[in-house]
Amino acid sequence: MKGKLILVGASGAIGDATLKAAEKMGLNVLPTYQSREMSGGVRFNIETDSPEVLNIGVDDVLILFAAYSDQEWIRAHPFKARNLNVIATSRFAENAIRMKALVVFLSSEAVFGKNLETGWTEGSQPCPTTEYGRQKFEMEQILQSLGGACIVRTGWNVSCRLADRCVVRNTYESLLAGSARLAEDNVFSITDVNDTARLLIEVVASRVNGIVHAVSGVPVTRTELADEIIKNSVSHAGMGYEKVLFKDLNFNEPKPACSWLATNHEIHRRLPEFSAPSEVVARKVRFLDSTPA
């Protein structure tokens, strides 16, 4: 690419993996962070700092990682979350697009709040039921109206960093604690964070517009995840769970039992296959087993 790649909020799991992939490709990359300091990064607050400090140019590509993502926290603090997730992010994106840069926005399978056994594709109409999902969808609508943007949706991304929120780690710990009640009809997407990073680099290199799903396209149930963890863990003898239905679980917001991302975008044909969820889980379990509590 001619310009530079600006990673806004690069200290999280996907941002960190994308930074490493970009550096490996020899790209001119500028990572930013707000509170979690990172070597070689520039401190930048998307809510308060002027985008002029990033010197955005015509050939640049910006990937927007900065966002609140803890769904329960967002439900309890909708206005504070929206100020970053929608107001500040849309203002920043509009400014960048006006400068003729390409904006890549990280969205989520949470924009789909209904059950669909066959999986939601890039052309499916969003139907969010949570505050987090509504904020992501609102940003998608804003970017689509502006043009000059690529929306990349993804589900649970799995990294081997303890600092990152992770469905595998959460389930691993609840299995060890003996407190797990897991719904056999709860279906979602699990993706290796490095696969998502590779797709983002391809989006950047090809300057893709529109909507892309960064997933393996293989659905996983909550109990299948638990069984894979138990099978691969050295602590398997002390693990167990109660199998329930999704309707038996209580949530503060309505959530679908079966809401996962499928993909039919041609960009996947240009990339190596994403890791199978079973491989992703096995790698994370080996990491957790070898990491002191």
The domains located in the chain, with CATH, are 5-159+191-218 (3.40.50.720)
The continuous run of DSSP H or E covering 289 comes out as helix 277-290
pLDDT at 243: 97
- pLDDT, residue 102, reads 95
- Residue 188 main-chain phi, psi, to 5 deg: -155, -175
Tens digits of residue pLDDT in 142-155 = 999 999 899 999 99
- Taking the chain (293 residues) in consecutive chunks of 10 residues, what is each chunk's mean pLDDT? 92 95 95 86 93 92 96 97 98 94 97 96 97 98 94 96 91 93 96 97 94 95 98 96 96 95 93 95 97 75
pTM of the full structure: 0.95
The continuous run of DSSP H or E covering 154 comes out as strand 149-154
Instruction: Report the sign of the C-alpha dihedral through residues 72, 77, 78, 83, in that order.
Output: negative
pLDDT of 293: 63
Provide the pLDDT for residue 165.
Answer: 86
DSSP states of 104-125? EEEEEGGGB-S--TT-B-TTSP
- The per-residue pLDDT for 179 is 83
